[in-house]
A and B are shown apart, each in its own frame.
Chain A
Amino acid sequence: MTKMSILAAATEVNAGDTAWMLAATALVLLMTPALGLFYAGLVRSKNTLNTFMMCVAALAVATVMWALIGYSLAFDEGSGFVGGVGHAFLQGVTFEPRDGTTIPHLLFFAFQATFCIITVALVSGAVVERMRFGPFLVFAALWSVLVYAVLAHWAFGGGWLQANGTLDFAGGVPVEMGSGFSALAAALVVGSRKDYGRQALLPHNAIYVLLGAGLLWFGWFGFNGGSGFSAGRSSVLAFTNTLLTPACTLAVWFALDLIRGRQVTAIGAATAIIVGCVGITPAGGFIAPEWAMVLGAVAALPSYAIIVWRPRTRVDETLDVLAAHGIAGLTGIVFIGFFAQRSWNGVSDGLLFGDAGQLGSQLMAAVATPAYAFAVTFVLLKIIGAITPLRGTAHEEAVGMDIVHHGEEAYVTGEGAILIMPEGDVAEDLPVADPV
């Protein structure tokens, strides 16, 4: 995304770039339902629909907020902290190329919208199985503006991190660290599930988890491969790195599983795919393929350690968004500081290739982003919680969120279900097949 300044001269819309970015946008949008599947498999069956619906809610709420104000605050010119309101309600977002790219501004907006959506959906992983759906909708709407749009401005929209030279190819700052550290704050404010630490709360469908992870990886080719905003070199590099890094993370995760438990686990593997994809997200277009493979191996270690450690704490950060996204994103951001390579990215070298300053810029992002995301999310949820309860009663939690909040079940059998036919509900004049 820092390519903007380099490509500033280009002002024509390029058909090839636009074609790829149209496809990439659709790929990233797929990641949100894929995440819904991944998350739904990780919870108990009575909370399947609610968990998935939090991701679906992001599709609605984050998109609307992004169009109304979020996009403008992220990508309109403004201060170093936050963008302006010039593009609020999509003003001035047209077919003209977005500054610094060769794709229509309208398409640039849509591509960025899909990033906001998936990030909001990611945070829900910290509060599933207990947070009420209504307050979650309010939280999602406000969080997408107060946290996501601000962090996107810092890293991509000309904000202070970008101005200071922090490299973040596809969203290590707003998406990965933004969601991961917000998730930690959300878990602390909303509190643990009532049976957490007392009973085993197990994933109810490992196949959903694996399928969701697979679809996420597929979508991630658009996420990283599209973040060069072209069909050019940085996109090709990021695309290929998106294959290499998660593969290495998977292999190392297998090894860690073997050492720890003598068995390679399926849900561990699904998690490893996510960790690898997250690790390469900030670094995709900046590091050489061989270093991307090293990053995959390195990123597995801290995330694995936290996933093993976190359930022993009282923090019910239920689906380990912090470990899989926050920590892996942080690893990727810092890794750039060492291994960015100008001969591959045309932008900047890391410490290993002679520029120690780049590491400083990366570390700045690795400190400021978690602090901002954690603090704002914490305060935001405290405020919402002061107005309306964030979670239901223990009884509602026992019954399950699907029945309580949605009036549906994921695995309904129909046995004992009695049709409700209010009088006059059947239109008499419509033709009905006669029973023979």
Chain B
Amino acid sequence: MKLVIGIVRPDKANDVLEALYRAEVRGFSLSRVQGHGGELERVETYRGTRVKMGLAEKVRFEIAVSEEFVQPTIDALCEAGQTGEVGDGKIFVVPLERVVRIRTGETGHGAVTPVAP
């Protein structure tokens, strides 16, 4: 099992959701984050105050998947999140020690496999 963390542009979040759905990845959470990844800093002006905005809005997906879904998840994030410009984001894949489904108490593979409603 792996935890796939994908950080993407906010305006690409809907495309990513769509791609994940098509890859049949059904369980994930997302949050709005701010970050910096080497993109050009933009200058903003508020009356007399000029500032360099060092942080950009991003959306962070956290997706816990079984081994066979790792690559499809990464593919979905890459294809849907890509614009080709600096600032498209990153994907981190980290090993998962344990996963527990709270409702049933099942662990491991069963817990990261969504059940049909």
A416-B53, A418-B51 known; A403 and B42 CB under 8 Å? yes
Min CB–CB distance B116 → chain A (angstroms):
25
Query: What are the residues of chain A within 8 A of B11 when measuring CB–CB?
Result: 398-399
Which size class do A's interface residues fall under? 10 to 19
Quick check: A420 and B85 within 8 Å, CB to CB? no
Residue among B9, B11, B55 having the largest count of chain A Cβ atoms under 10 Å: B11
Question: Residues 54-91 of chain A: 1 if any B CB is under 8 Å from the residue's CB, otherwise 0?
Answer: 00000000000000000000000000000000000000
Query: What are the residues of chain A within 8 A of B44 when measuring CB–CB?
Result: 403, 407-409, 412, 417
Query: What are the residues of chain B within 8 A of A419 when measuring CB–CB?
Result: 49-51
* Chain A contacts with B in 197-212, Cβ cutoff 8 A: 199-200
Task: Compute how far the CA of A195 lies from the CA of B45 in the bound complex, rounded to whole angstroms.
Answer: 29
Nearest neighbor of B85 in chain A, beta-carbon distance: A395
Question: Residues 36-69 of chain B: 1 if any A CB is under 8 Å from the residue's CB, otherwise 0?
Answer: 1000011111100111111100000000000000
Residue among A415, A417, A420 having the largest count of chain B Cβ atoms under 10 Å: A417
Which size class do B's interface residues fall under? 20 to 34
Query: What are the residues of chain A within 8 A of B42 when measuring CB–CB?
Result: 403, 407
Quick check: B45 and A416 within 8 Å, CB to CB? no
Quick check: B43 and A416 within 8 Å, CB to CB? no
Question: Residues 386-408 of chain A: 1 if any B CB is under 8 Å from the residue's CB, otherwise 0?
Answer: 00000000010011000100011
Quick check: A417 and B85 within 8 Å, CB to CB? no
| B107 at the A interface (CB under 8 A) | no
Query: What are the residues of chain A within 8 A of B41 when measuring CB–CB?
Result: 418
| B34 at the A interface (CB under 8 A) | yes
Task: Compute how far the CA of A407 lies from the CA of B43 in the bound complex, rounded to whole angstroms.
Answer: 7
What 14 additional pairs, Cβ within 8 angstroms, besides A398-B11, A408-B46?
A: A398-B83, A399-B11, A408-B44, A408-B45, A409-B44, A415-B34, A415-B55, A416-B36, A416-B53, A417-B52, A418-B41, A418-B51, A418-B52, A419-B51
* A-to-B contact residues, CB < 8 Å: 195, 199-200, 395, 398-399, 403, 407-409, 412-413, 415-420
Q: Which 4 A-B pairs have the closest CB atoms?
A: A416-B55, A416-B54, A398-B11, A417-B51
